A and B are shown apart, each in its own frame.
Chain A
Amino acid sequence: MTRRVVITGQGAISALGATAKTTVDGMLEGRCAISALEFSNADRLAVGIGGQIKGYAPSEHFTRAELALFDPFTQFAVLSAREAVTQSGLAFDDALSLRSGVVLGSAGGGLQTQDENYRLVYEEGKNRVHPFVVPRLMMNAGSSQLSMIFGLRGACYTIATACASSNHAMGQAFHAIRSGSADVILTGGSDSMLCFGGLKAWEGLRVMSSDGCRPFCATRNGMVQGEGAAVFVFEELEHARARGAEILAEVAGFSMTADAGDIVVPNQDGAARAISGALADGGLSPAQVGYVNAHGTATAVNDRTEIAALRTALGPAADAVAVSSTKSMHGHIMGGTGAVELLSCIAAVKDGLLAPTVNYNTPDPECDLDIVANDAREATVDVAISNAFAFGGLNAVLALKRFA
């Protein structure tokens, strides 16, 4: 008998809100949370805007000892996981803890910790740094902290595939539960790269917008970075049913492909194969897809390539699909972005509410699908897919199904 995988908890933090609920509410309000960046040396940046989490006081959530070990990317993962596990109602007893794991995505890991400590040794000439710099900055810090906090003793790891990291992570979690190697996995992604060194590197590529993120709009001129996390409880269906859990959505399909092309330029064939593959993996047809949370970075080339890939993968059904990029509101959360964006896919299949692409003012003939522009929309959606296409030509697509 085939094992099915469902989502029984969600947690998040982003510029839109400090919880999954406030983040989703912000998306559905069509609220743009991109604002002026505030951190040391931000005045030396050419691009001064981002989806920065403001009004956040770490000491309200963590002890002094925890903060010595938790880079912001770990803090965001822990806050999201607390919310998700609480919502799921799960208690990890001894037997369950052996059948449970963690798979998170991150592109930058403890980049803020690296940035700050390089500054101390190079700029300030210090000859020693805090003893916990290494366990704070390592890519797996977030996953390992979740494993320790909740006592999860199965597979625990972090995936780094740039902007596709959290989709790859959630795909691995899904397949692990479906194949029988785990019953529960905390999965999603986290990144916090909004610091001087992090953004200076991105400025060099000259693909960032200094005036806003406008995916699929003819006036788009680049991406805007964000920060945050989302973590979900992925659970085997019968396990969730047996304990009477509320089921938010079913994880139905996943696929990943590589372009084997260019290190930064996306490729229509690789993206289309990932979309088709996710549908095939879930036994789904293009006609069932009602909503696509696009990668939609608002660079000229990503958006037109993604629309072409959707047309290739969905065929005639593409014209009936609603498409949006919520990056226009929370920014591009890098390795955490697929996780935060999965929230909008859950809202689509569970509540029939489609989050919009905001800042959209001029249609682009090269992006001629049904873009949910500026205002949320109601629609009954059976299947929603979430695209993530990373630098390095790595594509990962998840398909969610309404659970009924």
Chain B
Amino acid sequence: MSVNEKIREILAEQALLSPSDISDDASLEDIGIDSMGVVEVIFAIEEAFSIEVPFNANDPQASAFDVSSVAAITAAVNQLIAEQKAAG
């Protein structure tokens, strides 16, 4: 399963949708995930990919982790996997 597929699976579970209903340009708001849901999604992503995600629920816009769309999340997770693998 690709990173993008796994992220869609996580989002689908949180949003009570099918992964095929979630497009790459959808925002979390579009699929009905609220601010507490975002925190749960970040946790699931950390567990699934064994990474640490820099995310502050106080101010999601200011966080280094871009959650504006499914594509943005995928790109950010790919980057974190690469960085954190390199750092060992």
Contacts and interface: CB of A to CB of B under 8 A. Distances in A.
A222 B62 CA distance: 12
Name the interface size band of chain B: 10 to 19
Interface string B21-46: 00000000000000110010011000
Nearest to B42: A206
A401 interface: no
A241 B74 CA distance: 70
B17 interface: no
A221 interface: yes
A237 to B, nearest CB: 44
Contacts of B5: none
Interface residues of A, number: 14
Contacts of B42: 206
B43 A221 contact: no
Contacts of A221: 56, 58-59, 62
Contacts of B83: none
Contact of B56 (A204, A206, A265, A301): A206
Contacts of B55: 206
A206 B62 contact: no
Given A46-B52, A204-B43, A220 B58 contact: yes
A300 interface: yes
B58 A222 contact: yes
A265 B35 CA distance: 10
A299 interface: yes
5 contacts: A206-B39, A207-B56, A209-B56, A222-B58, A265-B35
Interface of A: 46, 204-207, 209, 220-222, 264-265, 299-301
Interface of B: 35-36, 39, 42-43, 52, 55-59, 62
